[in-house]
Amino acid sequence: METLRPYDELKDEPRTGWDAESIGYALAAGKTLYVDGNGDVWTEGAREYAGRIKNECPDTAATVGHSSN
């Protein structure tokens, strides 16, 4: 079973303007949102798709521009 974590408005940035609108509508409707491991945002219960957040791989971000020597 896939692990979901609660959507955090302060930390999770929508990927596009469409995603921001869709997530905003879901929040305005009082829906509780969760993020899966791929960055997709889902509503609680019926698991309706609400959008996607920007995802950054921590391993890649930490090593870009640095050599291992």
- At a CB cut-off of 8 Å and minimum separation 6, what does 14 contact? 20, 23, 51, 52, 53, 54
Q: Which residue(s) pair with 5 in the sheet?
A: 35
Number of domains composing the chain: 1
- pTM exceeds cut of 0.95: no
pLDDT for 55: 81
69 located within any domain: no
Under 8 Å between Cβ of 9 and 53: no
In a domain, 64, yes or no: no
In a domain, 24, yes or no: yes
Residue 68 lies in a domain: no
Domain membership of residue 46 as a residue range: 5-55
pLDDT in tens, the chain (69 residues): 679 999 999 999 999 999 999 999 999 999 999 999 999 999 999 899 999 999 865 544 444 444 445
